[in-house]
Structure 1
Amino acid sequence: MSETMTLVTPPRRRERFGIEPNPRSRPAGRGRNTVGRTLLYVVLIIAAVAMLTPFFWMIMSSLKDANSVFSVPVRWLPEVFVWDNYVDIWTRSDILTWIRNTLVLSVTVTALQVLTGSFAAYGFSRIRFPGRDALFLLYVATIAVPWQSYMIPQFILLSNANVANTLWSIILLQAFGAFGVFLMKQFYETVPEDLSEAARLDGLSEYGIWWRIMLPLSVPAIASLSLLTFVNTWNDYLGPLIYLRDPSLWTMQLGLNNFVASLYDVDYGVLFAGLVISVVPIAVVFLLGQRFFVEGIATSGMKG
């Protein structure tokens, strides 16, 4: 009986000599992965279009006249671009004051939350004291408590302190946040303890370690916290509605709402122009800090 000898060339040797592999020998899972990835991209594109459609409609509505905004059927593009809407919102309202007040509150609250949140997070992550974990869990649990449950006693407290109807009321309300402490603590726990020990041996105090080592290393987490705090403060409506009664203290959201209420016949084209202006700072901040935001959120959930 004759035996047939088959020469089998290893894959690396076939690649070295330019021998093309048999298409039938390719794994079947590669084609399935391509199809799955294509479907995923399609779903993500559809979701992105669904999320961006309201913004597109808002921008286009800001360039329409008052009678064309809510026309039936919906006209996505204006027949005539009314650029004067952006001029009218500046001349018919006190939007410059609203922007200034909102910007002051957003920047101040963001800076204070980053300062207090990072400092408290360093204490919870690096300083050992009795009841530390229980105190941290109790503090973080306040995130689940709705603001409406203690809104009235808080208003009475600030009114007795004579800070109601001032910008200080909003600043004091939002200068401290449990979420910021939680976010920064999770990031600090990813920093090796050896760095803190080496700094202590070099004579640095705990304040120096926090300021000179931990803060520079936590730029992604600080960017994430800053972005979230800035957006929440800029979009806040209920807080300014309760505490800011003087029109000279109104924020952007409160001012636009009162602008609508003060008009008998609302020009929605002008209103949407104001809404577009209110969205621009948030979009700019998010675009500038998007890379740090994603990195900070991703690394804050890691340990070791």
Structure 2
Amino acid sequence: MMCVPTPPPASAVIKKKKSIADEELFPGARLLSLIFIWIAAAIAVAPLLYMISLAFQSDAEVSGGSAVLIPAKWQWENIGRLFAAAPFGRFLFNSILVAGLITCSHIVFAPLVGYVFAKFDFPGKQVFFIAILSTMMIPLFVRMIPLYVWFSQIGWLDTYQGLVMPFLMSAFSIFLMRQFIAGVPDSLIEAARVDGANELRIYRSIVLPQCKPALTVLGLFTFVFQMNEFLWPLIATSSLEMRTITIGLSIFKSESFTAWNLTAMGSLMLFIPVCLLFVLTQKHIVQGIAMTGIK
């Protein structure tokens, strides 16, 4: 008895013909796309690479009138010159402390509020949630004068609490965690309740372990935003000891506007903590962004 081979599915044949036709019409499509990606990556990375090169150039190379891509000799002493010219150690410490405290507050409290809005029903739930989201429409410029007057009256200007308190929580953090926790299966929570677990135990043992990607994204976004914050620290601080690194860089650039190598070194000091945090958390970032509905 002769065996007749089973023909491939029609969809497979159509897909194969389509791929062959695409290769015939665009024989170098893959190569062109790779070239485009490399060009785009080079354009994005080029300013950062030049900032690193500029930070380690000598004064003669900076003031020579022509761009130097690679220093003839890497001036590692520029790091010491930067910290001798201005208290950048204090600036960096203030920025990391303020950004770290605000990030910790968001990571601790935003999942709690997001869990309540995602998994509980109570009167006025939608009203409260819309009211919280509406605060995202209010820019800092509107709140700035009342905050300044209030903090001036209670003596919080030029203090760490004055820098931290206005940003301890945000509607974006609550929305981000609510969107993620809404995807946690209700069956897991109901099963835990049937087993006798209280809400705190359910939150700690079931909800939080599944929120690691979202918490990583939230922590990174919050830390980067606060490290780059400029306007409120400029208004809320007056002494040099309380300045953050963004304000310190602005002051240093206005006083030493020709020392581009030291200014670039200061910018590099601002970039390093954010880069290290990204490297440590990168495996959770893509997963967290995909699972929280941020496109």
TM-score by length of 2: 0.88
AA partner of residue 270 (structure 1):
L
Q: Say which is worse superposed, 149-158 or 48-57, in terms of deviation.
A: 149-158
Contact 1:167 1:244 in 2 (8 A): no
1:126 paired with 2:105, answer no
Distance 1:286 1:31, change over 3 A: farther
Identity %: 27
Residue 10 of structure 1: how far off its partner (Å): 4.9
1:285 paired with 2:242, answer no
Partner of 1:200: 193
Distance (Å, rounded) in 1 between the aligned partners of 2:18 and 2:178? 51
Contact 1:237 1:253 in 2 (8 A): yes
Distance 1:82 1:216, change over 3 A: same
Distance 1:173 1:25, change over 3 A: closer
Distance (Å, rounded) in 1 between the aligned partners of 2:173 and 2:276? 22
AA partner of residue 78 (structure 2):
N
Partner of 1:244: 237
2:217 aligned residue (207, 214, 224): 224
For residues 73-84 of structure 1, the aligned pairs below 5 Å read 73-84=66-77
1:28 paired with 2:9, answer no
For residues 125-204 of structure 1, the aligned pairs below 5 Å read 125-204=118-197
Distance 1:280 1:28, change over 3 A: same
Q: Say which is worse superposed, 157-166 or 201-210, in terms of deviation.
A: 201-210
Q: Say which is worse superposed, 81-90 or 50-59, in terms of deviation.
A: 81-90
Residue 281 of structure 1: how far off its partner (Å): 0.9
Distance (Å, rounded) in 1 between the aligned partners of 2:23 and 2:7? 18
Partner of 1:47: 40
Residue 28 of structure 1: how far off its partner (Å): 1.8
Residue 87 of structure 1: how far off its partner (Å): 1.7
Count how many residue pairs are aligned between Structure 1 and Structure 2.
285
Q: Say which one has the larger Rg.
A: 1
Greater share of helix: 2
Residue 111 of structure 1: how far off its partner (Å): 0.5
Q: What secondary structure, in the 3-state scheme, does the structure 1 residue paired with 2:31 have?
A: helix
Residue 71 of structure 1: how far off its partner (Å): 4.9
Can you give the 5+ residue segments of structure 2 that lack an aligned partner in the other structure? 9-15
Residue 47 of structure 1: how far off its partner (Å): 1.5
AA partner of residue 284 (structure 2):
F
AA partner of residue 56 (structure 1):
L
Partner of 2:51: 58
Residue 89 of structure 1: how far off its partner (Å): 0.9
Residue by residue over 1:31-52, the C-alpha shift from the partner in whole angstroms, topping out at 9 and shown as x without a partner, is: 5677444333322222111111
Residue 224 of structure 1: how far off its partner (Å): 0.4
Distance (Å, rounded) in 2 between the aligned partners of 1:26 and 1:232? 44
Can you give the 5+ residue segments of structure 1 that lack an aligned partner in the other structure? 1-6, 13-22
TM-score by length of 1: 0.85
Distance 1:70 1:54, change over 3 A: farther
Distance (Å, rounded) in 2 between the aligned partners of 1:25 and 1:59? 47
AA partner of residue 50 (structure 1):
I
